[in-house]
Amino acid sequence: MNSTAYSRFIPLTMYSGYDKSKEENIIKPKKLFVNFVVEYLRNSCKRRSDNYKRMYMNTVSHVIEYCQINDIKELYTNDIDMEFCENFIYFLQSDKNQMQNTVKGNLERVHAMLHKAALYGYPVNNTYEEIHVEEEEVSSVYFSMTEITRMFYYSGLTRFQREVLDHFLIGCLTGLRYSDYSRLNESNFIRETNQISIKTKKTGVAVTIPMHKFVREILKKYNYNLPKPRHIAYFNRSIKDISRKIGFNEKILWERTVGTKVVTEIKEKWQLVSSHTARRSFATNMFLQKDIPTYRIMLITGHRSEKSFFKYIRVTREENAFTLAGHPFFQ
């Protein structure tokens, strides 16, 4: 981080190469937080997706609403401190009734923009960094290889449902995100070696993935020219309907912190399925193959750390107990 990030709190003379004659040029004038975010998204985020920008603008709308409720006329980047963040979290929980991970995401986006503002030389009160929201473990589901096989051979679908399911199955057997498995085309398929090669959209990581036999069959069916994918909102609705139709109605305990309360419900498995279930299924099924090192799986999923990778693993307590039962310790 350059010296301007901490210049409001640490004497500039502590930095090597400090030139007092240029002191007046180091710190920029105060900047309204909302203006900074809007300008940054407009001018400096050209490579970012529209969804990325929408998420940040959604957070900005919450900040604006919070300021209106609390009669804050002007909010500068250096006005957002530890106390502001604590009160903003409470607003998201009590007034907006947001789930804990949603609150965490909004706070992290505020943090990210303050970090950018500091790098751009605007004054920032770094006490904001002291406030965090813990990530809540959610009741996410995955499909086992037995269930994936069941989906592959299921025949009671419409043509459109079959196309959605085929895209989903490719996700389950490649570990790609929807933003990647939905845009696969003939140029990504290396037929000579039965591999898929693609540069991931979210992280820009290039990955090469062996084709599972089901993937090869799907691609051959479409002559390696996959149908045009549906919009993700339509896709998520459809994959739920398809999962229900196939009969994935196992009862799942669903717990989330919503606002300031813990909400517990019993849901059927199909209700918790989304496009991202495919990537989670791949990571979990590969991990359960005990002869495949984690780092090799990460080369396919594109995860840079084991910490982020293990967030995808969904092994139930029963599965864990069954696996450990065979260990010599329990004999």
> What are 103's two structure tokens?
């609150």
Q: CB under 8 Å to 211, separation ≥6 — which residues?
A: 189, 194, 195, 196, 219
Cα–Cα distance measured from residue 95 to residue 245, given in angstroms and rounded to the nearest whole number = 38
User: CB under 8 Å, gap of 24 or more: what pairs does 106-113 form?
Assistant: 106/58, 106/59, 106/62, 107/131, 107/132, 107/133, 109/55, 109/56, 109/59, 110/59, 110/63, 110/80, 110/85, 113/33, 113/36, 113/37, 113/40, 113/56
Q: Is the pTM of this model over 0.85?
A: no
In eight-state DSSP terms, residue 224 is T
Q: Which residue, among 58, 78, 243, 81, has the nearest Cα to 168 in the 3D structure? A: 243
Q: What residue spans define the domains of the chain?
A: 3-130, 145-317
- Which CATH class for the 3-130 domain? mainly alpha
Whether 248 and 154 have beta carbons less than 8 Å apart is answered as no
Tell me the CATH number of domain 145-317, given options 2.40.33.20, 1.10.443.10, 1.10.3720.10, 3.40.50.300: 1.10.443.10
Q: Which residue, among 247, 220, 243, 281, has the nearest Cα to 161 in the 3D structure? A: 243
pLDDT in tens, the chain (331 residues): 343 333 333 333 333 343 444 444 456 789 999 999 999 998 877 777 788 899 999 999 999 999 999 999 999 999 999 999 999 999 999 999 998 989 999 999 999 999 999 999 999 999 999 999 988 776 678 999 999 999 999 999 999 999 999 999 999 999 899 999 999 999 999 999 999 999 988 878 888 999 999 999 999 999 999 998 888 899 999 999 999 999 999 998 887 778 878 888 899 999 999 998 998 898 888 888 877 777 787 777 766 666 666 666 655 555 556 566 666 766 6
